Every structure is written in structure tokens, then in C-alpha cells.
């Protein structure tokens, strides 16, 4: 029986008894509350863990469009408010903007810049109606096609073009889906179809030697394009290939993104939900595979302090390429690792004082292999 609340007549013992009982009752109430709360929290935590560690990988696996957004981020490209024909804005002289139109399956156009070599700029400024295409055709300078990395439009890489313009006519362009190029969904295959045609167009514009320069994702596209040219009937081989901060494959590169590696790489389903879908949905960008089909001299340059793409990728690429490239007749591979203390990172290799020397040397190597 429950003790009654005490009143004036309740003895000391009964009063104590009463309060003792109330305390016990309160405690058991608290206990139940506590258990319910804890269970709820545990369930919520479990749901959250499931959402993060199962939900995100499954959504990623099931959504090629999400994968595309990560591999080819085409929204809000930097620099913003681009004006591709307003060269003054970017302090560029001796350049033209070209709307390169492709007619196959779909009608598609790419935004392309043609930047004259520094040595022709004064001439172009002094001459009224200077003919850029004639100067490209004359072939006094070789031509380099620049394949940019994934997070930017072609304006972002002007500093590298300025280094290249010492030696080359520079052709810089935006991939489909990027900047002022047609807003067609980018895929690796689609982009390579475009770059094959861009190469053919440049080939018709000049008799000069044509080199490829690829930065990061651009290195994968450039290498893939060469592999495809090589497969083609006319067996075209460009003069030389330059790879700046390349990755070995998109799998390896995604694995370097801290969000994926730190959060998910321990999961047994990491491979099947995060990495494999990239290959399954046409985002393999497997530079290490394509490079085995390159038959021209290759120069790779990578900063050791690159926090986006580790320089070990370049070491691996150089090794794979050297195994396949016949250095007696086709070309050799040169790897330049730039020491970390220079601080060039992923985007500032153009600052390297040695870079012009490396480029010059590579041109000499490529020219030497031409006659073998």
C-alpha cells in the first residue's frame, strides 16, 4: 500500500517513509524516460549512419548525372563572367576567338582561342587586318593544343599559355558542356570525338608540327585522343605530348578526394558503389591505359606538393609509358618532378623557371625522333 502524504498528525517515521517512496517512484519514472530517450537517439544515429554510409554510396552509384557533375563540373566555372572575345580584359594581345562548328550526329560548336606566338604579336598589332589563319598556315612555329583541367574555362589557364606562346601557336578550347561550347552533356567518349575533329581541323590549318598539352583531366583527354588517332586508319601520331599534373585514372583521382577517401574507403562496398560506377558509366579517364598507345615522346611535369593529384601518379605513368614506348624508334619518356619547396602545387607549374628549358628540351627530343 502507498503511504499517504504526511499531515500534522503523521509521525516522523511515516513522513520519512512517504518521502522515501516518492523518491523511488520518481527514480523509476526517470529510468523509463532515460531508456526511451536513449533508444530514440540510438535509432536516429543508426538511421543517420545508414543514410551516410549506405545512402550516399547507393545514390552515387545509381546516379550517373551526379558522377558527371563531379567529373565534369560545368556550372559556375571560374573565372566568372567570361568574355571570350574581349582579350583586353585579360591583357592578351595577338589572339582570336573562334567558334569551331562540328557537324556529326548532332550539330555542335566549341569555343576555341588561337593565341599567336609572342614573336608574332607585334607584327599582328602593326598590320591592319592581320590574317591569323595565314600566320598559322605559314608554319614558322609549331602548334600546341591545350587540354585544360576540369574545374574552369579556358580563361583560367592564360598564365600557362603565356609560357607556351614563347614556342608555339596555342590552341585552347572548352570541352562540350563547358563555357561557350555547346551545352551538350559532357562524356569522355563525346569529348574525345570532338577533340579528334578539333585535331583534324588544326591539321588542315597548318603544315607545322602539332603538339598536345594536357593538364590533369586534360591529360587524360589528350592521351585518349592520341590513342584514338593511333587506332584510326591514317595512323596519325602528333609530334609530342606534354602532361602536366596528370592522374592515372578517374578511379584513382576520386580516391584522392578526402570526402570519399576519409569517409567511405573503409566500407566493403566502396569499390562497387563509388569507384566501379565511374568505369561502368564512361568516366574511366584511364590515362595509364591510353598512354600505352602513345607513340611519340612524352614529357611529364608534376609538382611534388600537388595536393589535388599526387605526383606518385606521374611516376606510375612514366613507368607504364616507358615499358610500352619503343625508345629506339618512337620516343622516350621524361619525368620532371618539381620539388615541394617551390610551392607550385596543382595550378602554378607555369611559375617554374625551369619549365621553359624543359619544354625546349622536349621539342628537341621530339624533333630528333621525327627522323628515326
Ligand X SMILES: *[C@@H]1O[C@H](CO)[C@@H](O)[C@H](O)[C@H]1NC(C)=O
- What residues line the site for ligand X (CB under 6 A)? 99, 101, 109, 111, 118-119, 122, 180, 332, 334, 365, 368
Residue 322 grid cell: 616507358
Nearer to ligand X by Cβ, of 188 and 209: the residue is: 209
The minimum distance between CB 369 and ligand X, in angstroms, equals 8
Q: Are strands 210-215 and 106-115 parallel, antiparallel or unpaired?
A: unpaired
Q: Which of 295, 294, 300 is nearest to 372 (CA)?
A: 295
Query: 327 and 172 in contact (C-beta within 8 Å)?
Result: no
**Is the Cβ of residue 30 or residue 368 nearer to ligand X in the bound state?**
368
For the record, the C-alpha cell of 150 comes out as: 576540369
Q: Which is nearer to ligand X, 2 or 91 (CB)?
A: 91
The CB-of-179 to ligand X minimum distance in angstroms stands at: 9
Which three three-digit cell numbers place residue 293?
598507345
Q: Which is nearer to ligand X, 103 or 234 (CB)?
A: 103
User: Are the beta carbons of 185 and 128 closer than 8 angstroms?
Assistant: no
- Closest CB 291 distance from ligand X, rounded Å: 15
Question: In this complex, which beta carbon is closest to ligand X, that of residue 25 or of residue 370?
Answer: 370
Q: In a 10 Å sphere around its CB, with 0-12 CB exposed, 13-18 middle and 19+ buried, how is residue 308 labelled?
A: middle
Min dist. Cβ of residue 252 to ligand X (A): 24
**Which letter does DSSP use for residue 105 in this model?**
S
Phi, psi of 353 (to 5 degrees): -70, -20
- Specify the residue, 278 or 363, whose C-beta has the smaller distance to ligand X: 363
By beta-carbon proximity to ligand X, the closer residue of 122 and 265 is 122
| 119 or 140: CB nearest ligand X | 119
Report the nearest approach of ligand X to the CB of residue 327 (Å): 7
Maximum C-alpha span of the chain: 120
Residue 178, C-beta contacts closer than 8 angstroms, at least 6 positions apart: 72, 74, 77, 111, 153, 186
Task: Please state the closest distance from residue 99 (CB atom) to ligand X, in A.
Answer: 4
* CA–CA dist 20, 12 (Å, integer): 12
Judge whether 120 and 166 are in contact, CB under 8 Å: no
Rounded Cα distance, 315 and 21, in Å: 76
E strands, the chain, are 95-104, 106-115, 143-147, 169-173, 210-215, 240-244, 298-303, 333-338
Say if residues 251 and 188 touch (Cβ distance below 8 Å): no
Q: How far is the CB of 330 from ligand X (least distance, A)?
A: 11
Gap between the Cα atoms of 286 and 252, Å rounded: 9
Taking the least distance from each CB to ligand X, the nearer of 292 and 332 is 332
Question: Residue 173 Cβ, how far from ligand X at the closest point, in Å?
Answer: 12
Q: Which triple of cell numbers denotes residue 282? A: 564512361
Minimum separation from the CB atom of position 311 to ligand X (A): 17
* Closer CB to ligand X, 274 or 318, in the complex: 318
CB 205 to ligand X: min, Å: 18
Nearest CA to 96 out of 123, 132, 61 is that of 132
| Rg value, the chain, Cα | 31
Amino acid at each position: 500500500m502507498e503511504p499517504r502524504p504526511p499531515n500534522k498528525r503523521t509521525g516522523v517515521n511515516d513522513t520519512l517513509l512517504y518521502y522515501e517512496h516518492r523518491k523511488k517512484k520518481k527514480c523509476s519514472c526517470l529510468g523509463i524516460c532515460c531508456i526511451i530517450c536513449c533508444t530514440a537517439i540510438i535509432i536516429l544515429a543508426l538511421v543517420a549512419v545508414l543514410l551516410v554510409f549506405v545512402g550516399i554510396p547507393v545514390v552515387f552509384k545509381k546516379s550517373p548525372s551526379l558522377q558527371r557533375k563531379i567529373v565534369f563540373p560545368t556550372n559556375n566555372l571560374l573565372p566568372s563572367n567570361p568574355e571570350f572575345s574581349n582579350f583586353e580584359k585579360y591583357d592578351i594581345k595577338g589572339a582570336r576567338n573562334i567558334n569551331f562548328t562540328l557537324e556529326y550526329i548532332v550539330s555542335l560548336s566549341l569555343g576555341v582561342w588561337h593565341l599567336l606566338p609572342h614573336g608574332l604579336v607585334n607584327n599582328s598589332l602593326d598590320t591592319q587586318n592581320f590574317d591569323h589563319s595565314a600566320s598559322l598556315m605559314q608554319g614558322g612555329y609549331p602548334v600546341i593544343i591545350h587540354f585544360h583541367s576540369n574545374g574552369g574555362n579556358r580563361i583560367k589557364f592564360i598564365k600557362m599559355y603565356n609560357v607556351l606562346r614563347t614556342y608555339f601557336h596555342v590552341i585552347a578550347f572548352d570541352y562540350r558542356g563547358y563555357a561557350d561550347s555547346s551545352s551538350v552533356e559532357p562524356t569522355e567518349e563525346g569529348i574525345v570525338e570532338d577533340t579528334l575533329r578539333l585535331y583534324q581541323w588544326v591539321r588542315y590549318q597548318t603544315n607545322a608540327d602539332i603538339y598536345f598539352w594536357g593538364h590533369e583531366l586534360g591529360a587524360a583527354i589528350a592521351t585518349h585522343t592520341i590513342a584514338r588517332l593511333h587506332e584510326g586508319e591514317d595512323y596519325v601520331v602528333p609530334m609530342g605530348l606534354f602532361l602536366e599534373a596528370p592522374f592515372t585514372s578517374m578511379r584513382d583521382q576520386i580516391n584522392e578526394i578526402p570526402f570519399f577517401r576519409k569517409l567511405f574507403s573503409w566500407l566493403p562496398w566502396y569499390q562497387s558503389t563509388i569507384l566501379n560506377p565511374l568505369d561502368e558509366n564512361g568516366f574511366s579517364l584511364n590515362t595509364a591505359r591510353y598512354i600505352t598507345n602513345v607513340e611519340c615522346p612524352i614529357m611529364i611535369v608534376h609538382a611534388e606538393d600537388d595536393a589535388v593529384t599526387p605526383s606518385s601518379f606521374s611516376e606510375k605513368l612514366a613507368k607504364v609509358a616507358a615499358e610500352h614506348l619503343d625508345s629506339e624508334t618512337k620516343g622516350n619518356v621524361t619525368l620532371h618532378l618539381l620539388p615541394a619547396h617551390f610551392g607550385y602545387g596543382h595550378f602554378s607549374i607555369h611559375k617554374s623557371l625551369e619549365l621553359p628549358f624543359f619544354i625546349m628540351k622536349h621539342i628537341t627530343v621530339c624533333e630528333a625522333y621525327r627522323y628515326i
